[in-house]
Amino acid sequence: MVYVAADNRYEHMQYRRSGHSGLKLPLISFGLWHNFGGVDARETGKEMIRKAFDLGITHFDLANNYGPPPGSAEEFFGEMLKTDLAPYRDELIISSKAGYKMWDGPYGDWGSKKYLVSSLDQSLKRMGLEYVDVFYHHRPDPDTPLEETMHALDLLVRQGKALYIGISSYDAKQTSEAVKILNDLGTPLFIHQPAYSMLNRWIEDGLQKVLEENGVGSIAFVPLAQGLLTSKYLNGIPTGSRATKGTSLSQEEITDATISKLNQLNELAKTRNQSLAQMSLAWVLREEKVTSALIGASKVEQIEENVKALDHLAFSKSELETIDRILAS
């Protein structure tokens, strides 16, 4: 059966301009970090991508190393672009990143021009694209001069392989330096992708101010703290959850004190007629300081639930104070 996108896909989704650029992003973006690798169920992945686009999510976020195995998420998304999404390419914002190990030897990791140019070439081949809309450097490289990494990103834009460039996980000082280099080159920084959630507020300690002052957008990854800020962990660690797999979320993080705080936050969410996940996304998007919240999913219903967070983005002063008090206890 040929996929046809929903006619009403733009009726509910809200869009926000990324910094001083001319491009708007959906307030909810969709990431393929987990559940889209070569080991995952293809049909489930297809259903999630179709549903995301049907709900107005136009931004799909990838990286060279997403899988497993590394590269397989891009290959999967490339298959979707050839079939289901082929007629809609100009409605999509497709991003990828490089900065973690992809191949053996000294040129398959970090932030050299050699690595970044080669990596994007490989990503484009995997997805069957002539260009990505956004290309990020995935993490700072302590051994490569920042000028070289930024010159590589500028080069990729000038080559027509990326329309916009971003960085991820750079701190305030690194970001400020990157902004200056890129402005001098004439390819301004488009967006920063930091981890940000109610449980991880590091960007409020300087980075957010740098972004605002320089007109750079931001997209928060793990806004649900890898599932912690959902109903999944309210009664402890469930079998088969991400915390039991020993990958990006450890069981040691989920203490009795943490579970108590999650339940208190959940009670507050109920007073807002929201799930904990919906309130957590709304909190990240409050006050329009963050351009978009980047979600992942393992099933269609999670995407539908998360998008409904947009129905109630406003917080009272009392609600924000209650959240701070719960998390400080």
pLDDT tens digit string along 313-327? 999 999 999 999 999
pLDDT, tens digit (0-9, with 9 covering 90-100), for 274-319: 999 999 999 999 999 999 999 999 999 999 999 999 999 999 999 9
Mean pLDDT confidence for 27-41: 96
Considering only CA atoms, which of 186, 193, 130 is closest in space to residue 162? 130
Instruction: Using the predicted structure, report yes or no on whether residue 263 has a pLDDT greater than 80.
Output: yes
Mean pLDDT confidence for 44-52: 98
> What's the rounded Cα separation, in Å, for the pair 300 and 157?
34
Per the CB < 8 A criterion, the answer to whether 147 and 130 are in contact is no
Instruction: Using the predicted structure, report yes or no on whether residue 119 has a pLDDT greater than 80.
Output: yes
Strands (E) located in 128-267: 132-137, 162-168, 191-193, 217-221
Per the CB < 8 A criterion, the answer to whether 153 and 137 are in contact is yes
Residues in contact with 246: Cβ distance below 8 Å, sequence separation at least 6, in sequence order = none
Instruction: Using the predicted structure, report yes or no on whether residue 251 has a pLDDT greater than 80.
Output: no
User: Residue 254's pLDDT is what?
Assistant: 82
Mean pLDDT confidence for 47-60: 98
pLDDT, tens digit (0-9, with 9 covering 90-100), for 91-109: 999 999 999 999 999 999 9
Mean pLDDT confidence for 171-195: 98
User: Residue 204's pLDDT is what?
Assistant: 98
Instruction: Using the predicted structure, report yes or no on whether residue 49 has a pLDDT greater than 70.
Output: yes
Task: With residue 318 as reference, give the H or E element that holds it.
Answer: helix 317-328
User: Residue 7's pLDDT is what?
Assistant: 98
pTM: 0.95
Structure tokens at 276: 């904990």
3-class secondary structure, 243 = helix
Instruction: Using the predicted structure, report yes or no on whether residue 266 has a pLDDT greater than 90.
Output: yes
User: Residue 168's pLDDT is what?
Assistant: 98
Per the CB < 8 A criterion, the answer to whether 110 and 103 are in contact is no
Mean pLDDT confidence for 37-61: 97
pLDDT-based confidence at residue 261 (cuts at 50, 70, 90) = very high
pLDDT-based confidence at residue 38 (cuts at 50, 70, 90) = very high
Which residue shows structure tokens 């990020």? 136
pLDDT-based confidence at residue 246 (cuts at 50, 70, 90) = low
User: Residue 253's pLDDT is what?
Assistant: 73
Instruction: Using the predicted structure, report yes or no on whether residue 238 has a pLDDT greater than 80.
Output: no
User: Residue 235's pLDDT is what?
Assistant: 86
Report the chain's mean pLDDT, rounded to a whole number: 95
User: Residue 247's pLDDT is what?
Assistant: 61
Mean pLDDT confidence for 235-258: 71
- 329, with CB counted inside 10 A (0-12, 13-18, 19+), is exposed
Structure tokens at 126: 């995997």
Distances (CA, A) of 28 to 53, 99, 109, 293: 11, 24, 30, 5
Structure tokens at 10: 């733009």
> What's the rounded Cα separation, in Å, for the pair 306 and 119?
32
pLDDT, tens digit (0-9, with 9 covering 90-100), for 209-224: 999 999 999 999 999 9
Task: With residue 324 as reference, give the H or E element that holds it.
Answer: helix 317-328
Walk me through the domains of the chain, giving residue ranges and CATH numbers. Answer: 15-226+284-311 (3.20.20.100)
> What's the rounded Cα separation, in Å, for the pair 282 and 198?
10
User: Residue 242's pLDDT is what?
Assistant: 62
Q: How many CB atoms lie within 10 A of CB 165?
A: 23
pLDDT, tens digit (0-9, with 9 covering 90-100), for 61-82: 999 999 999 999 999 999 999 9
Instruction: Report the percent of the chain where pLDDT is more than 70.
Output: 96
User: Residue 285's pLDDT is what?
Assistant: 98
